[in-house]
Amino acid sequence: MCRFDLEKVFIICCTVLQTVFAGTTGKLTGAITIKETGEPLVGANVLIEGTGLGAATDLGGNYFILQVPPGKYFVRFTMIGFQDLVMSNVRVQVDLTTRLDGALSEKVIGMDEVVVQASRPMINTNVTYSQANISSDEVAMLPVEEFEDVIALQAGVVIANGEIHVRGGRGGEIAYMIDGITVTDPFNSDIAVEIENNAIQELQFISGTFNAEYGQAMSGIVNIITKDGSFMDYLGSVSVNGGNYYSDDRDIFPRLDRIDLQGISDLKANVEGPILPGSLSFFASGRIKRDNGHLYGRRVFHPHTFIWDAEVNNFVVDSLVGLGDGTVLLPEDTLGTVIDSLMGKDIFDWVLMNWHEQKTMQAKLSWRLGPYLKISYNRMFSDTRQQSYSHLYKWNPDGRSRSFSTRTADLVRLDISVSHSTFANIMLSRAVNHYRSQLSNDPDF
């Protein structure tokens, strides 16, 4: 039995060394003018609805709002004596500046507010490097099951042997971050935790010539922003799907000519809502997926069928164990003759050898302690059990080892707005990965 216990503890605090972590919010800026004259409007209010974030225009009619979480918003412009203006579908992206200008008309009695659909430019001139920001809506529309599949759709990305290669780079040259906190596993340079697509608010992928704020990465950066729960409404969803493999070529893929829709199953669910409306919310998601595999072996032998015989200087069949079905060979029997006879009777059991089972859970609490302070706690857990196929063990499937992996992560983030233009972030994280490889089906063996 081979057993590895790996524990990684990452504690990351906000310091002047900005190369440690990535951004998790965007910036909203613009100018407000008087529609009839084009003059700047001083003292106009700008409010991002549903967030408590806002600003007022200066002497030049300009404003900016920092620490805006990624997503789509309604932005309201108001001023006494002027008609309200609401901009809908305003998208804010991580590490990017969204410009939103408005022109207010002098108010006429009886007129309602004006609602305008926001639009984005085709080319973002703020970006000086290759970057893709994929929103939760875009992730939901893609025909993918894992966030790695989303990355694989980006330009310059190739997945080979389970590793992500960016622009010809090697596997393991990507830095992974969740909510701005590094979660790269130092043991294998992969992501240290599992995260499901339904928990992603925005996925930021940077490849090539990225800024100096990112360290310990050669090929690319993957920065995942997780969802906060709704502060006002209760929402949830459940998804179930299944399937299986099929082939009518029994010589290459035995036993795949039968239709069984339970070979692959996938159950996903998430729920969110307020605990204290307007201030404390939760988001929880879970997933159970099972793939029974499609490559079969036959239990012709047990792992202990053969023992070493020093007299003949070779392995022989242990008479106390016998073959896979319990058949004990007589001294005059040859191994080949007996096996051929039993194989013709289809006595030996067929065993799937490349199965995979995984359970993942995530829970996040977000607490707004007023307009200038926010605390979030994110807990992630995954349990993975699997066996990979090896042709060397085709007639001895029980002799092939199984692997068990349990991952947990705790992420704590404190966002403080010191003033209109100054903020601080304090982040703590802890990740633990236990990996075991053994013959027993019991993960606690």
Among the listed residues 203, 207, 194, 193, the one whose alpha carbon sits nearest the alpha carbon of residue 226: 203
The token duo for 117 is 């659909």
| Rounded Cα gap, residues 354 and 342, in angstroms | 25
In this model, does residue 280 exceed pLDDT 80?
yes
Query: Is the pLDDT higher at 316 or at 168?
Result: 168
In this model, does residue 75 exceed pLDDT 90?
yes
Pairing status of strand 280-291 against strand 356-368: antiparallel
Chain mean position to CA 302: 39
In this model, does residue 4 exceed pLDDT 70?
no
Query: Is the pLDDT higher at 162 or at 391?
Result: 391
Pairing status of strand 2-8 against strand 423-438: antiparallel
Give the mean model confidence (pLDDT) for residues 208-214. Answer: 70
| Rounded Cα gap, residues 102 and 81, in angstroms | 16
pLDDT value, residue 21: 52
Among the listed residues 366, 404, 434, 431, the one whose alpha carbon sits nearest the alpha carbon of residue 176: 431
Among the listed residues 104, 61, 100, 58, the one whose alpha carbon sits nearest the alpha carbon of residue 82: 104
Out of 5-19, 43-57, 111-125, 339-353, give the one with best mean pLDDT: 43-57
State what percent of residues in the chain have pLDDT above 70.
83
Give the mean model confidence (pLDDT) for residues 306-330. Answer: 72
DSSP state of 53: E
Least confident of 9-13, 23-27, 146-150, 357-361: 9-13
Give the mean model confidence (pLDDT) for residues 260-266. Answer: 86
Please report the domains of the chain, with CATH numbers, ordered by start residue.
Answer: 2-21+132-296+353-438 (2.170.130.10), 26-117 (2.60.40.1120), 300-348 (no CATH)
Least confident of 13-22, 107-116, 209-218, 409-418: 13-22
Average pLDDT, the chain: 84
pLDDT value, residue 312: 74
State what percent of residues in the chain have pLDDT above 90.
38
Among the listed residues 83, 95, 90, 96, the one whose alpha carbon sits nearest the alpha carbon of residue 49: 90
pLDDT value, residue 208: 72
Pairing status of strand 296-298 against strand 350-352: antiparallel
In this model, does residue 2 exceed pLDDT 60?
no
Give the mean model confidence (pLDDT) for residues 310-330. Answer: 71
Give the mean model confidence (pLDDT) for residues 263-285. Answer: 94
Q: Dihedral of CA 432/165/265/178: which sign?
A: positive
Give the mean model confidence (pLDDT) for residues 394-417. Answer: 91
Least confident of 173-182, 231-240, 379-388: 173-182
- Report DSSP letters for 417-429, one per residue: E-SSS-EEEEEEE
Q: Which residue has the tokens 């090929």?
A: 219
| Rounded Cα gap, residues 92 and 87, in angstroms | 13
First CA to last CA distance, the chain: 10
Among the listed residues 61, 417, 69, the one whose alpha carbon sits nearest the alpha carbon of residue 230: 69
Give the mean model confidence (pLDDT) for residues 164-172. Answer: 83
pLDDT value, residue 197: 92
Cβ proximity of 208 and 174 under 8 Å? no
pLDDT band at 203 (very low <50, low <70, confident <90, very high): very high
